[in-house]
Amino acid sequence: MMTTSATLKGLVCLITGASRGIGRAIARAVSGAGAAVAVNYHQSEQAALTLEDELIAGGAQAMAIKADVSNGRLVEDMFLRVEDRLGPVDLLVNNAGIAFKGLLTDTRDEDWARLMAVNLTGPFLCSRRALPAMISKRFGRIVNIASMQGVCGASCEAAYAASKGGLIALSKSLASEVGPSGITVNAIAPGPVLTDMLCRDMDEGEMGDLLSLLPVGRWGQPEDIARACLFLLSPQNSFVNGSVLALDGGWKA
């Protein structure tokens, strides 16, 4: 577990898509900082339950909770259960996302719709549900995990890039809307991070070519994203708002 000072003690953090990869690293980081953590998952139940056990064994309050974040009814049920067990959500990390690689001419209606539902509608639904309690407290933090593709675009990933670009626009707009209420909203735009999603979508040759384009000479790790997210979630960060933090090792898509 990533250890740090108890900067988030007494706060409740909900992380979507938290059973693996970047989401899991963020869950470990915020738990180590003292937050109670709701580990959202959709399909990876065993991984989520294993993480829940790990966090609890480390002395944290934690719960694994299943929900498809693209479904408003399930999002409402998720928040009610988190509130009942841990309390109102102070910190929201919209991390759940899916990828799609292919020519735009080969992208089916259902591929586009699912990308937008998970990558953009999910953060909209979760943010909308979390905000009333944050506004009431006059404190809250929302971090949206976007992508450098959403900043720069990417050949054969137009649909994915569009969903992440929309998430960046949502982040900036919402930051202006709720900043006066003591709430910050920021986006993180990772470059190549060594996760199951990256390895699944590329063969060995493609991964070697991509690695050669990273000036830092290494892959990004989920923990790199988690450390940045931890800062953006901290009560000590009250001035970074509406920003898009590029964590790409100097690479541009």
Residues belonging to the active site: 160
CA distance 200 to 139: 38
How many other CB atoms sit within 10 Å of the CB of residue 80? 11
Give backbone dihedrals phi and psi of 106, rounded to 5 degrees, phi first.
Answer: -100, 0
